[in-house]
Each structure stands twice: as C-alpha cells, then as structure tokens.
Amino acid sequence: MQVESTPSVVREIVRTARRDRAVVGVVPTMGALHAGHVSLIERARTECDFVVATIFVNPTQFGPNEDFSKYPRTMEQDLEMCKNADADLVFTPDTSQMYTADAETVVKVTQLTSRLEGAVRPTHFDGVTTVVAKLFNITDPDKAFFGQKDFQQQLVIRRMVADLDWGIEIVTCPIVREADGLAMSSRNRYLSAEERQRSLVLSQSLQLGKKLALETAATPAEIERQMQDLILATDGVVLDYAVVLSADSLLPLQNRPDSAVALVAARLGATRLIDNQILQFR
C-alpha cells in the first residue's frame, strides 16, 4: 500500500493504474477510521481494481463553533486499517496541499442542502461538496463509496455528480452498528458512559419508525411524532430533528408511500449524533 500526500503524485499514480484499464474506486474519509469506514474500503475492493482511500480532516466543512480542532486524528491506526482492508493507495494531504491561500472557488448544491443538516450547519455542505469535488478531480475515480449514515451527504454528492455530468458511480454502503444498535461514528468516542447509554434512543426511535411503517397504518407524520416523543422522553438528549421524508428528495410526504427514510439528529452534551433508517410501508 502506498501513502502519498501530494495531489500531483496521486494523480500520476492513478493515471498509471488507469493505463492498465483498472477500475478505480475512491473512499473519501476524515480519518479516525472505524468498522464503518473499513466496510467502505472492503466494498470498494470487491468492485474495483485500484482502491484509493483519502484521509483529510477538511476544515471548510466545520462551522466556527464545531469540533475541527479536537476532531480525532489517529493517522497511524488509520493507515494500519487501510492496509488490512487492502487499499492500494492512501491520499493524506495537509490543508495547504488542498487549499491554497488564494483559493476562491466553492462547489454548491443549492436546495438539497438547505434543510436538516444544512439548516443546523449552514456552511457544512459547501465544504463537503467542494472538498469531494477536489478529491474526485485528484483521484479520478470510476466509483466513489460513501456511508448511508450521512444520508443527506450521499444525496448531495449524488446531486453534484449528476449536475456536473461527472461519470462517477456513487455507491452508498449500509450503516455499520455497534452490537447494541448505535451507528458507528468517529464522534462516538466523545460520549461519556452515561451519554453512550442515552444515545441508544436514536437507533431505538428508528426501529420504532420501521415497525410502525411495516406493521400499522400510521402516516409519516404520525410516525415522526412517536419517534420524537420517544427521544424527548430521554433525559440529557436534545432533539434536533426526527423526521420521515422522501428518500430521494428529503421532501415531506403527504400520504403513506411505499418507502421513505427516517432521519434523526440529537445532541448529547457537546456531541451531536445523526442516524437514519429506510422505512418500508406495508
């Protein structure tokens, strides 16, 4: 496995792989890798000849009061995990290699980013789309692999790729959970033991939503209400949203659809967690 931090070197390595007709896959990450990230690299390994993982804690997607400076940086362990998952190349740029002082271009998806995470974190998605566009340009992939846990993010990236006529296939991989249901996240390590216990209400609310959709005649609005009630009844969990929306557009649903996505976000102390679940209606 090669490890490179210079964009032009990475571009050249990928160009060489492409000359041998390799299908190139990229797995963009911010490091602090866990089993969820490993599942993305493993999936890329099964679908691609040449697998690039990227590790870059992207400053432009953090708001002024967010956790950029304390975001976990565990490069040595991360590289070990990439190697074990059989990545061919890991791109580990630093901030000056990704953003020159005179950079002034932003890639913006305008509508899909205005709600949910975008409403709570107004500059977040501009940072994500800009850095992912740059990572796509540097690594020139055929396929890119993202986790379903960041449901809105994968939709936003799909929108960007479609709107900019990028011939990149976006592959969304299933959420990987701890044994008790908590969705894996690099931010879970911030939780105290008590917060960790309380955080289970997020996945429990999604399980409730799944059951109500499948086994009752509840409408999306009724399901939302029951999910919200469950979360609001848990001390120490501050609910941002618990909603049931169209999985394609994240727009509200009037009647009972065939399927939808339930999304939740909540804060436990200083830690903000998100999770989601596809719902099938009976």
Residue positions annotated with a catalytic role: 37
61 near ligand PAF (CB under 6 A): yes
92 near ligand PAF (CB under 6 A): no
SS3 of residue 3 by DSSP: strand
| Residues in contact with ligand PAF, shown as a per-residue x/- string from 151 to 170 under the rule CB under 6 A | --x-----------------
| Residue choice 39, 58, 92, 139 for contact with ligand PAF (CB under 6 A) | 58
CA distance to 43, 152, 204, 236, per residue, from 271 (Å)? 29, 19, 18, 11
DSSP assignment of 30-98, as one string? -S---HHHHHHHHHHHHH-SEEEEEE---GGGS-TTSSTTTS---HHHHHHHHHHTT-SEEE---HHHH
Which residue is associated with the tokens 């809105």? 152
27 near ligand PAF (CB under 6 A): no
Other C-beta atoms lying within 10 Å of the C-beta of residue 81: 20
Closest CB 150 distance from ligand PAF, rounded Å: 5
| Residue choice 26, 30, 32, 144 for contact with ligand PAF (CB under 6 A) | 30
- Pairing status of strand 24-29 against strand 143-147: parallel
DSSP 244: E
- The rounded distance, in Å, linking the Cα atoms of 181 and 152 is 20
For residues 147 and 175, is the Cβ–Cβ distance under 8 A? yes
Closest CB 28 distance from ligand PAF, rounded Å: 4
- Closest to 14 (Cα-Cα) out of 44, 49, 46: 49
| Residue choice 131, 144, 201, 250 for contact with ligand PAF (CB under 6 A) | 131
| Residue choice 150, 195, 224, 275 for contact with ligand PAF (CB under 6 A) | 150
141 near ligand PAF (CB under 6 A): no
Nearer to ligand PAF, 132 or 191 (CB): 132
Q: At what angle do helices 124-139 and 151-163 cross, to 10 degrees?
A: 60
Nearer to ligand PAF, 132 or 168 (CB): 132
Q: What torsion, rounded to 10 degrees, do the Cα atoms 75, 80, 85, 86 define?
A: 100
Nearer to ligand PAF, 136 or 281 (CB): 136
Stretch that binds ligand PAF, among 26-34, 66-74, 96-104, 226-234 (CB under 6 A): 26-34
Closest CB 152 distance from ligand PAF, rounded Å: 11
Nearer to ligand PAF, 24 or 131 (CB): 131
Closest CB 113 distance from ligand PAF, rounded Å: 13
Please give the residue ranges that form the binding site for ligand PAF (CB under 6 A).
Answer: 28-30, 58, 61, 128, 131-132, 150, 153
